[in-house]
């Protein structure tokens, strides 16, 4: 159920019986010469809408801009600073709790958002307001992704390319797949991202001239459909599991005995 397409009486019927919402999040940032800047938020929204159509749960509008300063050297990349992002997501989620939502799944397709979503989720859980967790699509099907693509690549690689080929093929510059591969870094090991155990890079441009990693020529719409359907299945399972949990079981466990001050 997509919230923006509903009337308020229809949503009243939902919150009278249900308490789970899905929030898709991504970014608007460079994804090489072959993929649109909308790649991450298109993937997040498509997966969230597909899963909630199957389960009947509430899906909010998509958050299009995330924490992406590490792509700032490339034209068109947009970002918000981490404190502003965390504040916005927390405020949005507290808004949902006002309407009766007490559990939220952040359907995330941008790695730069992950740690901040986890922090927001911890705050909400510690306050007893909501149980909010982050879900990253490729982390739900790691074995499948690694089996399908020889040189996967964490950004702008074949997994994201195949996904967009499936979701919106007209946005993929297929004549640029060779140049994306040849101008980027096919193997992450070749980017030399660490030295003596330290992360010596801060920006994507420190590792790759055209902003991408992996072999984009290995992507096909058929592979995109396979990983899209597999990830959607995983998200459906997560929503069904979370919906079935008693809210009290999702809150922080009590302090171990003896309780502080119990002997005073």
pLDDT tens-digit map of 95-146: 999 999 999 999 999 999 999 999 999 999 999 999 999 999 999 999 999 9
How does pLDDT run across 50-92, given as a tens digit for each residue?
Answer: 999 999 999 999 999 999 999 999 999 999 999 999 999 999 9
Mean pLDDT (whole number) for 138-166: 95
Q: Specify the higher pLDDT residue, 58 or 189.
A: 58
Mean pLDDT (whole number) for 146-173: 95
| Closest C-alpha to 121, from 100, 104, 97 | 104
- 105 sits in which H/E element: strand 103-108
| Closest C-alpha to 219, from 262, 259, 181 | 181
For residue 165, pLDDT beyond 90: yes
Domains of the chain: 3-247 (3.40.50.10310)
How many Å apart are CA 216 and CA 39, to the nearest integer?
A: 14
Integer CA distances (angstroms), 3 to 12, 82, 145, 233, in order:
11, 26, 31, 22
DSSP H helices, 38-81, are: 39-55
How many Å apart are CA 35 and CA 161, to the nearest integer?
A: 7
Q: Specify the higher pLDDT residue, 262 or 106.
A: 106
Q: How confident is the model at residue 182 (pLDDT cuts 50, 70, 90)?
A: very high
Check residue 79 and give its pLDDT. Answer: 97
Is residue 21 within 8 A of residue 58, CB to CB? The reply is yes
Is residue 221 within 8 A of residue 249, CB to CB? The reply is no
How many Å apart are CA 60 and CA 201, to the nearest integer?
A: 35
Peptide bond preceding 258: is omega within 30 degrees of 0, i.e. cis?
yes
For residue 191, pLDDT beyond 90: no
Is residue 235 within 8 A of residue 57, CB to CB? The reply is no
Check residue 201 and give its pLDDT. Answer: 85
């Amino acid at each position: 159920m997509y919230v923006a397409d509903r009337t308020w009486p229809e949503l009243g019927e939902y919150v009278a019986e249900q308490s789970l919402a899905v929030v898709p999040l991504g970014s608007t940032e460079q994804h090489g010469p072959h993929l649109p800047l909308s790649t991450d938020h298109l993937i997040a929204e498509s997966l969230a809408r597909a899963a909630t159509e199957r389960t009947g749960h509430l899906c909010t509008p998509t958050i299009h801009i995330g924490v992406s300063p590490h792509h700032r050297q490339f034209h068109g990349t947009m970002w918000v600073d981490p404190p502003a992002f965390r504040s916005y997501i927390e405020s949005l989620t507290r808004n949902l709790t006002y309407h009766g939502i007490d559990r939220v799944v952040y359907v995330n397709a941008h790695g730069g958002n992950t740690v901040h979503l986890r922090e927001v989720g911890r705050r909400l859980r510690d306050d007893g307001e909501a149980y909010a967790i982050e879900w990253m699509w490729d982390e739900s099907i790691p074995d499948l992704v690694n089996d399908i693509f020889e040189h996967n690549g964490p950004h702008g690689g074949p997994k994201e390319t195949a996904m967009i080929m499936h979701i919106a093929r007209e946005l993929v510059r297929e004549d640029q797949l060779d140049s994306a591969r040849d101008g980027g870094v096919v193997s992450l090991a070749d980017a030399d991202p660490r030295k003596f155990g330290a992360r010596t890079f801060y920006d994507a441009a420190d590792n790759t001239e055209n902003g991408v990693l992996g072999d984009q020529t290995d992507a096909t719409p058929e592979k995109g459909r396979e990983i899209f359907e597999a990830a959607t299945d995983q998200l459906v399972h997560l929503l069904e599991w979370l919906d079935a949990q008693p809210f009290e079981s999702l809150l922080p466990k009590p302090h171990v005995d003896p309780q502080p001050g119990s002997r005073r």
